Amino acid sequence: EPEVTQTPSHQVTQMGQEVILRCVPISNHLYFYWYRQILGQKVEFLVSFYNNEISEKSEIFDDQFSVERPDGSNFTLKIRSTKLEDSAMYFCASTPRRGLAVNNEQFFGPGTRLTVL
Amino acid sequence: RKEVEQDPGPFNVPEGATVAFNCTYSNSASQSFFWYRQDCRKEPKLLMSVYSSGNEDGRFTAQLNRASQYISLLIRDSKLSDSATYLCVVNSRTGNQFYFGTGTSLTVIP
């Protein structure tokens, strides 16, 4: 069964460093998302991406964040200068249909745990 | 106002019990509704979509009330393996953003 994959599974970094989190969405999916989940808190939407551009982003997704689809398979989230409060689990997700399609299911990757020291 | 609100629980029920979770959402333009389950430190996994007419999948029944902006999930004959956090998920007016509730924690006790 096709699945979303993410690397690395765990990333430890120093405050102020740049990190790149990588995702490989399901191959025939067209819509991609990044979420974060701070330990013990709810899953929070960061950004959606379609046709090589951002469709929508939340207030969390400030200038420190960027996303890219550098080739036909990878979808990356970059944090330019990490802060302590960026420590969280970051989930990538993909869907085959446009956002407003009824019952548009999302398929999540296993997540990358980011720890900022 | 939160986009999606859920009772966080926890719900502790014996095996075989029936348990119901509720969720309300604020955006009347939302068109997609889901229940996901999340095991500890794992990714959310789709449990079921919620259709306007209500739908059932084995022991699980989901209902949607658009007028009240209310979604429910009923689990019958609870199993130990049902222990997880259940997340109510609703999409935005544009459809490009999905809002998660804080989740309802369920523990099924032998």
Nearest CA in chain A to B39: A110
Sign, Cα dihedral of A100, A72, A68, A111: positive
Which residues of A touch chain B, with CB atoms under 8 Å apart? 31, 33, 35, 41-45, 48, 50, 55-56, 58, 89, 91, 98-111
Q: For residue B21, what pLDDT band results from cuts at 50, 70 and 90?
A: very high
Phi, psi of B79 (to 5 degrees): -110, 160
Substitution target in B98, B100, B104 with the highest count of A β-carbons within 10 Å is: B98
pLDDT of residue A7: 96
The pairing of beta strand B104-109 with beta strand B11-14: parallel
- Cα separation, A38 vs A18, in Å, equals 19
Q: For residue B67, what pLDDT band results from cuts at 50, 70 and 90?
A: very high
**Residue B46, min C-alpha distance to chain A (Å):** 7
pLDDT of residue A104: 73
Q: For residue A105, what pLDDT band results from cuts at 50, 70 and 90?
A: confident
pLDDT of residue A102: 61
How buried is residue A52: exposed, middle or buried, by Cβ count under 10 Å (0-12/13-18/19+)? exposed
Cβ–Cβ < 8 Å for A13, A34? no
Nearest CA in chain B to A9: B42
Nearest CA in chain B to A104: B32
pLDDT of residue B41: 86
Six token digits for residue A71: 């080739």
B45 shares contact with chain A (CB less than 8 Å): yes
Q: Which residues of B touch A9 (CB under 8 A)?
A: none
The predicted-structure confidence for A20-57, as pLDDT tens digits, reads as follows 999 999 988 989 999 999 998 999 999 999 989 999 99
Cβ–Cβ < 8 Å for B35, B44? no
Q: Which residue in the set B46, B100, B103 is minimally distant from A105, CB to CB?
A: B46
More confident residue, B84 or B54: B84
Q: Which residues of B touch A91 (CB under 8 A)?
A: 43-44
Count other Cβ atoms within 10 Å, centred on residue B5.
15
**What's the mean pLDDT when you consider all of chain A?**
92
Percent of chain A with pLDDT over 70: 96
pLDDT of residue B95: 76
